């Protein structure tokens, strides 16, 4: 089976999974709860998994920021920021919007367009930074000029600084400075390591497939 066929099968499985996750009306109560748990565990909107499977570039009105860098040899990396999937509280109230940073790598000579093909992807959250503290330091010591302060990250040894105020700076979120902000935090006296939070899109796509109709 060739790569193209595998991608088609992968895509069909993902699309079927999305249908089941969004529907599930005929499922039993236990199955519905399981599908709801899978859906809530996904980091991105279903369409993002679809275009990644098809090796397509992400274009359209949802792109909030983009820049392109050329590597030695002619390969290009397109960095963009887009909104994430909508999330709701248990009471049904819509939660604040999340943002996703995507890096699309294109081989030399490949035009940067929706059709791609994109050689590889990196997905990270654009609205939070994970911080490993140096011994003897507290999360509250790490603050940004925007007013955002690091705090405990439930279930993790690292702390987390959410860029809530940073994204609301006058003139809009300075997405082009996001990776510079991470580098600056790596120089903070209380910080051993700062990084953007990676999204394992392949593992999440596999989860969709595993809960799709057989």
Residue found by looking up tokens 């959250």 in the block: 125
| pLDDT given for residue 103 in this prediction | 96
Mean pLDDT throughout 163-191? 95
Q: For residues 141 and 209, which has the higher predicted lDDT (pLDDT)?
A: 141
Asked whether 163 and 129 are in contact (CB, 8 A), the reply is yes
Dump pLDDT digits (tens) for 122-171: 999 999 999 999 999 999 999 999 999 999 999 999 999 999 999 999 99
Q: For residues 41 and 64, which has the higher predicted lDDT (pLDDT)?
A: 64
Q: For residues 205 and 119, which has the higher predicted lDDT (pLDDT)?
A: 119
Rounded distance between C-alpha atoms, residue 39 and residue 43, angstroms: 9
Dump pLDDT digits (tens) for 26-55: 455 666 666 666 666 677 887 788 888 889
| pLDDT given for residue 35 in this prediction | 63
Q: For residues 55 and 21, which has the higher predicted lDDT (pLDDT)?
A: 55
Dump pLDDT digits (tens) for 87-125: 777 677 877 788 999 999 999 999 998 988 999 999 999
| pLDDT given for residue 1 in this prediction | 46
Asked whether 133 and 198 are in contact (CB, 8 A), the reply is no
C-beta pairs of 185-191 under 8 Å, 24+ apart in sequence: 185/129, 185/131, 185/142, 185/161, 188/142, 189/134, 189/137, 190/133, 190/134, 190/137, 190/138, 190/141, 190/142, 191/131, 191/132, 191/133, 191/134, 191/137, 191/142
Q: For residues 14 and 162, which has the higher predicted lDDT (pLDDT)?
A: 162
Q: Which of 82-86, 91-95, 139-143, 208-212 has the lowest mean pLDDT?
A: 208-212
User: Please, which pLDDT band fits residue 210 given cuts at 50, 70 and 90?
Assistant: confident
């Amino acid at each position: 089976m060739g790569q193209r066929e595998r991608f088609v099968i992968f895509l069909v499985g993902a699309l079927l999974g999305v249908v089941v996750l969004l529907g599930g009306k005929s499922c039993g109560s236990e199955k519905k709860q399981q599908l709801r748990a899978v859906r809530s565990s996904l980091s991105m909107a279903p369409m993002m998994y679809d275009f990644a499977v098809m090796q397509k570039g992400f274009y359209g009105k949802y792109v909030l920021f983009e820049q392109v860098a050329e590597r030695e040899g002619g390969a290009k990396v397109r960095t963009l920021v887009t909104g994430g999937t909508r999330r709701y509280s248990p009471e049904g109230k819509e939660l604040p919007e999340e943002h996703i940073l995507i890096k699309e790598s294109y081989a030399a000579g490949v035009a940067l367009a929706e059709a791609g093909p994109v050689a590889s992807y990196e997905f990270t959250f654009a609205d939070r930074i994970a911080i490993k503290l140096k011994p003897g330091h507290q999360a509250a010591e790490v603050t940004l000029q925007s007013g955002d302060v690091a705090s405990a990250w439930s279930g993790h040894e690292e702390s987390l600084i959410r860029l809530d105020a940073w994204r609301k700076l006058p003139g809009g979120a300075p997405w082009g400075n996001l990776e510079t902000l991470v580098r600056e935090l790596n120089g903070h006296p209380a910080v051993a390591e700062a990084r953007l939070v990676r999204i394992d899109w392949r593992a999440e796509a596999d989860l969709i497939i595993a809960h799709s109709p057989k």
